[in-house]
Amino acid sequence: MREEDEQTRGLQELRSMIFHILRSPPLPISFPTFSLLSSWSSQRQQISPAAFGLLFTGISIALMLFGIVTFLIGFVLMPLVFMLVLLFYFAGIVSKLLEIGRTIFCWPLSDCNKVAPGQVRGKMSPDWGPVVVAVALFILLSPGLLFQLPARARVVEFGNMYTSGISILVHAVLYFCIYTILIVAIGVHIHAAA
C-alpha cells in the first residue's frame, strides 16, 4: 500500500512538472537551482486526467507525424537507390561484355601474338606491378607504423604504433590516391622473366 502511495505521488509530481514546463514561458539562460525546483514542487498545479491523456495523445501524434515524414522520405528515395544499383549492375555487365568481346575479336590481331620467323612463341608473363605497389603502400601507409596522420597530440607522429578511426580514414584515402596515381596514371608494370 505504501509503495503505491509513493508511486502515485511520484507520478503526480512528474505529471505536474511536465505540465508546468509546457505551460510556463521559456527559462532564462541560467540553469535552475535547487531552490527553483523546490518552489515548483511547492506550487504544484492539479491537472485533470483528461488533460494528462490529451498531453500524451499530442505527443503520440507528433511522434507518428515524424515517423510518417521519415517513412515518406525513405519511400521517395528508395526508387532512386534501386535505380542507382541497377545502373551499377548494368555498367558491370557492359564492362564484362566489352572485355569478352575484346578477348574474342581483338586477340588474334594483337601485336603480342605476332611471332617473327624462327622464334618460338612463349607465355606472356604476369604483371606484378599492381601487387608490388599495393603491398608496399600497405606497409608504408599503415596508420601508426611509420607515421600517423592525424595523431593524438600533433598533426603527424612518427612510429607511435597507435591508430584511430579518423587516421584510418585519412590513410585509406591517401592509399587510394597514391595507388591510383601509380597504377592508372603512371602505369607501373613489373614483368617477371620466364
Reported as a single tens digit per residue, the pLDDT across 102-140 is 777 665 555 544 555 555 555 667 888 888 899 999 989
Domain extent for 142: 125-186
How high is the pLDDT of residue 59?
87
How high is the pLDDT of residue 122?
55
Q: Is residue 17 part of a domain?
A: yes
How high is the pLDDT of residue 9?
81
Q: Residue 121 in contact with residue 113, Cβ under 8 Å? A: yes
Written in H, E and C, the secondary structure of 87-112 is HHHHHHHHHHHHHHHHHHHHCCCCHH
Burial zone of 93 (CB within 10 Å; 0-12 exposed, 13-18 middle, 19+ buried):
exposed
Per-residue pLDDT of the chain (194 residues; tens, 9 = 90+): 566 677 788 778 878 877 777 775 554 555 455 454 455 555 556 777 787 788 888 888 888 888 888 888 888 888 888 888 888 888 888 878 877 777 776 655 555 445 555 555 556 678 888 888 999 999 899 888 888 888 888 888 888 888 888 888 889 989 988 888 888 877 778 877 65
How high is the pLDDT of residue 97?
80
Q: Is residue 19 part of a domain?
A: yes
Nearest to 22 by CA among 71, 68, 59: 59
Angstrom distance (rounded) from CA 95 to CA 90? 8
Angstrom distance (rounded) from CA 84 to CA 45? 57
* Strand pairing report for 157-158 and 147-148: antiparallel
Counting the structural domains of the chain, the total is 2
Q: Is residue 108 part of a domain?
A: no
Q: Is residue 76 part of a domain?
A: no
Angstrom distance (rounded) from CA 110 to CA 145? 45
Q: Is residue 80 part of a domain?
A: no
Residues 157-170: tens digit of each pLDDT: 888 888 888 888 88
Angstrom distance (rounded) from CA 61 to CA 133? 58
Beta-bridge partners for 140: none
Angstrom distance (rounded) from CA 136 to CA 164? 21
Q: Which of 28, 47, 66 is the last residue of a domain?
A: 47
Q: Is residue 81 part of a domain?
A: no
Q: Is residue 64 part of a domain?
A: no
